[in-house]
Structure 1
Amino acid sequence: MAKCDVCGKDESMPYNCRHCGGTYCGEHRLPENHDCTGLQNWNDPSGVFDSGFDDSVNDSGTSRASSITSKLPIDTGPGGPLAYFRGNMTYTFLALMWVTFLAQMIAGVALSRQTQLSIFYFTTFNPEYVWTWFISVFSHGGLMHIVFNSIVIFFFGPLVERYVGSRNFGILFVVSGVLAGMGQIGISLVQSEPAAVLGASGAALAIMGVLTVLNPSLKVYLYFILPVPLWLLTIGTAVVSLAFIGGGAAGGGGIAHAAHLVGLLIGLAYGEYIKRTRNVRTPNQFQLGGGGPGGPGGPGRGRGPF
């Protein structure tokens, strides 16, 4: 359940405005019904809701029809195959992760190991390769690695995105992922431990950190079996990471413990900021498939454990 920012009504299926980031009920979901601040950034606020069916309404209708999106061979409208990605950064990032993973598999056959390292991995050998700071966030070391991160992001991501907005969620994901990688590389250099970092674990733990602050009692199912409050899972993750880092093995067991800890701390800090600046209400259990503000209502509503 979430409260509408305008009328305060409890809404089980809230709408998140992709222009201002607010949460609204069905009655106030349209930008003009909640005095959306995003309208001020458009050149023609009075005409943005023109259906376009009557070309006589706007002489520039032909130019609008010839926009880039209208020329694409894919339906980009609300009911098209790309609808799930409209205002849903969670699904967009998940798609990018799997596309990058596919590129890694192709590269594994066509390119040398050294070339792969210089493209997909953020390493202590070449930390000045700026592109690897970002590509490494979407790259993964194996099938189980990307599957585990995808599960965490799929369950936690939509909740965080709903309450902070898609734009802020996107910034949180990329910035936390990059800084987590930098943290791992930095500590590995201090410990004289060669490291090659990749994966969205830092970003995933940042997302988990935000939820821990907003709703520490949120019940999750560890390995889909053991029910634990989210705060306990967060503390356990932090303790394990600190133990490895303190023991001089920031990358012990092939796991980027320093990256995990940095991502988690970023999420906790951002969650505290959101808690202090916004009136956020989060559910006590996961609701899957609610979808974001874009898409044809999401892939169906349902409930399930994590």
Structure 2
Amino acid sequence: MSRTLQRSRVTVLFLVIVWLFYGLRLGVESIYGEEFVLSLFVVRFSHLEYVWTWVTAPLGHGNFAHLLFNSMLALYLIPPVERALGPAKTSVAYIVGGALCAVIGTVLVVLVRVPFLSDATATGGLGSSIGLFVLWGLSLRHYWSHRNPPLAESGIIVKNSTLFGILLVISLGGIAFDIWRKSAGVPFPGLGHHYHAVGLVLGAMMSEVALFD
């Protein structure tokens, strides 16, 4: 892990920012309360006009476990993208892609849930996976016909195109599961599958733009 951090400035910067954001969120919440924190860090369908949340939501986290998991995901996803794009383009891809994913994902989940749930518009999201899945989709699409290196090292031969399809199917299935669990009242944490699906597709689309040299 130390070697990864030494070679990837974007990963280091990302981890510093998200951990500082988490500390800031806890401090602000202790002083001003939860509603104020939501208005700063969570992109919500009822307040899409809060444009700053388009940027802060992909950097914020709801709890420590959420932050820890996404930090580990960042160690896996950011370095290969940075090697291909460079620090500046990787940062721009995360910020722009994360903002688009935050807005589109929030609108998508409402449109999908409206026919099934009475409180469909009471939705919002935050978490760095919003932007990380954009980078993941971008990387997988660029190296479409290549084998996935981490899986290949584990003896699992899977092309990036296949992995992209698997991740997208899991995300779409997760959206359906989220609707079912909410309508059935099943106590199970939501995992933001709609943001993951949108992030993968957005990343794949962004890879077609002149980002790569």
TM range, normalised to the smaller chain? 0.7 to 0.9
1:203 aligns with 2:124: no
Code of the residue aligned with 1:210 in structure 2: it is L
**Inter-partner Cα distance in structure 1 for 2:52 and 2:94:** 16
SS of residue paired to 1:125: helix
1:214 aligns with 2:135: no
**Inter-partner Cα distance in structure 2 for 1:248 and 1:199:** 17
**Inter-partner Cα distance in structure 1 for 2:139 and 2:157:** 14
SS of residue paired to 2:147: coil
1:105 aligns with 2:35: no
1:185-228 per-residue CA deviation (whole Å, 9 max, x = no partner) reads: 2123323312121011121112112221233412325xx98846
Q: Alignment partner for residue 261 of structure 1, among 174, 194, 197?
A: 197
SS of residue paired to 1:217: coil
Counterpart residue number, 2:52: 131
Matches within 5 A, 1:164-243: 164-190=85-111, 191-192=113-114, 193=120, 194-215=122-143, 216-220=146-150, 227=156, 229=158, 230-243=160-173
CA shift at 1:236, angstroms? 2.3
Code of the residue aligned with 1:167 in structure 2: it is A
Between the aligned residues of both structures, percent identity stands at 23
SS of residue paired to 2:76: helix
Cα RMSD for the two superposed structures: 3.0
Code of the residue aligned with 1:200 in structure 2: it is S
**Inter-partner Cα distance in structure 2 for 1:258 and 1:124:** 14
Largest Rg, 1 or 2:
1
**Inter-partner Cα distance in structure 2 for 1:251 and 1:207:** 29
Which structure has the highest strand share of the two?
1
CA shift at 1:98, angstroms? 0.7
Work out whether residues 179 and 262 of structure 1, in 8 Å CA contact, stay in contact via their aligned partners in 2: no
Q: 1:122 to 1:251 in 2, by over 3 A?
A: farther
**Inter-partner Cα distance in structure 2 for 1:144 and 1:225:** 26
TM-score by length of structure 1 reads: 0.55
- The aligned length equals 192
Q: 1:259 to 1:166 in 2, by over 3 A?
A: same
Give unmatched runs, 5+ long, in structure 1.
Answer: 1-83, 279-306
CA shift at 1:178, angstroms? 0.9
Code of the residue aligned with 1:181 in structure 2: it is A
**Inter-partner Cα distance in structure 1 for 2:155 and 2:69:** 17
CA shift at 1:247, angstroms? 6.6
**Inter-partner Cα distance in structure 1 for 2:149 and 2:51:** 39
Q: 1:209 to 1:124 in 2, by over 3 A?
A: same
CA shift at 1:244, angstroms? 3.8
CA shift at 1:272, angstroms? 4.2
Code of the residue aligned with 2:52 in structure 1: it is W
Counterpart residue number, 1:68: none
Q: 1:225 to 1:110 in 2, by over 3 A?
A: farther
Work out whether residues 242 and 261 of structure 1, in 8 Å CA contact, stay in contact via their aligned partners in 2: yes
**Inter-partner Cα distance in structure 1 for 2:199 and 2:133:** 5
Q: Alignment partner for residue 82 of structure 2, among 161, 164, 169?
A: 161
Work out whether residues 209 and 266 of structure 1, in 8 Å CA contact, stay in contact via their aligned partners in 2: yes
Which structure has the highest helix share of the two?
2
